[in-house]
Amino acid sequence: MRRVSFDPVAQVFDKTRGPPEHIRKQLVDVLTKELIGYKTILDAGVGTGRFAKPLQDKEFEVVGIDLSQKMLGVAQKKGTVNLFRGDICFLPFKTHSFDAAICNAVLHLIAEWETALQEICRVTSNVMVSTIHEHENPIRKAYSRLLQKYGYESRRRGKPEHDLKDVVTPLKSMHVASYFVDSKESLAHMSQRVYSHQWEIPESVNDEIMGELRGQFSGRKFPQELSVLVWKIDELKAHLRKKRR
């Protein structure tokens, strides 16, 4: 089973992912309100500690796990504690170790995403929380289409948390914020090949695609909506049981 490690982009990850800082603060506030009452929390795919650290600062007992040692190293430098290196498909924790779990932008990276979800459900008692972007970045969408033009397949490994809501109805769905994505920033990040779906694409092909994308998208801004979803663990377990039949 091949896994995606973000070691290659650990040092630039925070600069190239997620919403602006003021929106991120709003997101942490919403997560804080939703997690009040839950003592122990698993951050599955903790990465650089973008959520674990501010929640730990608010006195939540957060444990983070990630495949990438370098991402964990960035998290440690921020002061994030209780970090483990490991595979989400084989969590090294006892059943019902946590009251709640956080799973953000992780399941789409794992072909065996149902196994990962099953493990998260095994070790969690009450709820799983995810943050999602309601709209796909049109530049990334166009990039995937152009890959086919150049003879490469754009493939999705697992299932994004955004799509999981169409399979299992969340207990809650909360709008966090609306903001605009600047095409200049998106194009710059993609030119640097910071996204995992670009890593296997030859640099020359990426350059050709980026040339086309600049001509199409330069100078534009795109609306984005950020939401928080909350699932009951029992509902997720029921779905997984049906899939095994």
pLDDT digits (tens, 9 = 90+) for 139-155: 999 999 999 999 998 77
pLDDT digits (tens, 9 = 90+) for 163-190: 999 999 999 999 999 999 999 999 999 9
Pull the structure tokens for residue 121. 């459900």
200 burial type by CB count under 10 A (0-12 exposed, 13-18 middle, 19+ buried): exposed
Looking at residue 4, its pLDDT comes to 86
Task: Give the rounded distance of the alpha carbon of 82 from its chain centre.
Answer: 20
pLDDT digits (tens, 9 = 90+) for 66-99: 999 999 999 999 999 999 999 999 999 999 999 9
Question: What is the Cα–Cα distance from 174 to 234, expressed in whole angstroms?
Answer: 20
Looking at residue 147, its pLDDT comes to 93
pTM for the structure as a whole: 0.94
156: pLDDT strictly greater than 90 = no
User: What value does the mean pLDDT of the chain take?
Assistant: 94
pLDDT digits (tens, 9 = 90+) for 17-54: 989 999 999 999 999 999 999 999 999 999 999 999 99
Residue linked to tokens 């504690």: 81
| Average pLDDT rounded to a whole number, residues 179-208 | 94
Q: Whose CA is closest to 63, among 38, 42, 34?
A: 42
pLDDT digits (tens, 9 = 90+) for 107-124: 999 999 999 999 999 999
- Helices within the chain (DSSP H only): 13-16, 21-35, 52-57, 69-77, 113-123, 138-149, 161-164, 183-191, 203-217, 233-244
Q: Quick one: pLDDT band at residue 1, thresholds 50, 70, 90?
A: low
Q: What is the residue extent of each domain of the chain?
A: 21-244
Looking at residue 245, its pLDDT comes to 65
For residue 78, the one-letter residue type is K
Pull the structure tokens for residue 131. 């943050």
Looking at residue 186, its pLDDT comes to 94
Q: Quick one: pLDDT band at residue 242, thresholds 50, 70, 90?
A: confident
Domain 21-244 grouped into CATH 3.40.50.150: yes
